[in-house]
Structure 1
């Protein structure tokens, strides 16, 4: 009986390998930056979602480019969009890990960021943030979003080389320039719920946090991109991937939990014990 339990434990442990990790990129159809606040020293509602997204990306084992800098693109200095991004960062676990935060806005400065002629540039960035555009006061302008689209291949290569990205509902012209088959649809059904992958990816986040504001985009034809949240019609509202790039995404990365590791260890001990008995009988 013990032998059977140990064998079963080993088999189960090889199947239950952990929790989903959404990084290195998360694409949300929300405007969480317009629907959040700080209360009691902690982010609330949409800003908490933004914080959890950053923490998820920073913890991804596939965020490998080694740069500890979050760059928020397109938000006007001192605006609601910029304050939301700064709060999501400053109250996150990233601050204890040596990360820094920079806000870059304006056509010229964003262009220089991409072409590498400024001190803060794509090559020394760890995570890119993009706000929800005209859905939040001070969000990225049409001209700035056109620059994103013009540099979509650079963003894709940045992700493929181990960078991370968190973006919200800014029209996603830069994404569809890379993936024409991906449907980015305005609006969405009522309600929003985390999927199993989303619950694992954003620990401590609730559906009510996401319901703090409307979603302005939903996604169709998502292909292999993991769906992290849906509306009541089942349409994807938040999608992401653990590895690769926009054009070549990987599946969810898996990080073993302590209980899973214990089960795996128990199973392996049983496997070793069975192997020893078999060897003794053969001798």
Structure 2
């Protein structure tokens, strides 16, 4: 008798994700949905800051997997990337823990049948560590992994290129001086009459940027520029996020690894678009043998 698949933790967020999107008016960006669930359930900072082996935020990834299962089941629309939207069914549905587990078991079984090289345990294990977009493909390094593998100087230079491609002018890397934690500067033209000087810092690693590091960077920026940007291939602690937007203090823009990837992809910098046809398993579901 085959062992039953373990219940991945992301199953706990099926119902809360529907509730969060209802509170957001029926749709929201992934980070808005994640923040709403965390607020509703009072998720501790320690859990929000935990990362997977590949360096992505585990809680965010779990919510993304919850969204994927709800799309397969028809509770969420499979619409454009970047906005999660309730379907009419999802808008009126409230899932219990047992109902969520039933959905989980159903789709794990379907995927196990369609992927003979993967056991049910393999599927649930990889869903805890990989993003939904990654698991159906053979392994190639992700953009984030590539960015984490370049040299520190290389990361500074590539951030310079990224800022320039996104509209910054006179972008320069300060080199080895690391003047007060400043790695470079640039000018962002807001309109024909107003421009803003920006200082930036680049942190190429898999770790978590702390509140103290945000404070140190802000101190280096104050009096020298109107804005500070910190770019990292890692993540920011919840305390760091609060410090960056603290009332009365110079705001610091935070670009974590996930956002960094989005910025590269939005202008196709260092990446090439690829068309992939994905099997619509829901279409074939009525033709599959039901598992008793």
Answer whether TM exceeds 0.5 for this pair. no
Whichever structure has more helix as a proportion of its residues is 2
Q: Please classify the TM superposition score into its range, dividing by the shorter chain length.
A: under 0.3
Whichever structure has more strand as a proportion of its residues is 1
TM-score computed with the length of structure 2 as normaliser? 0.23
**RCO comparison, higher one (Cα < 8 Å, 6+):** 1
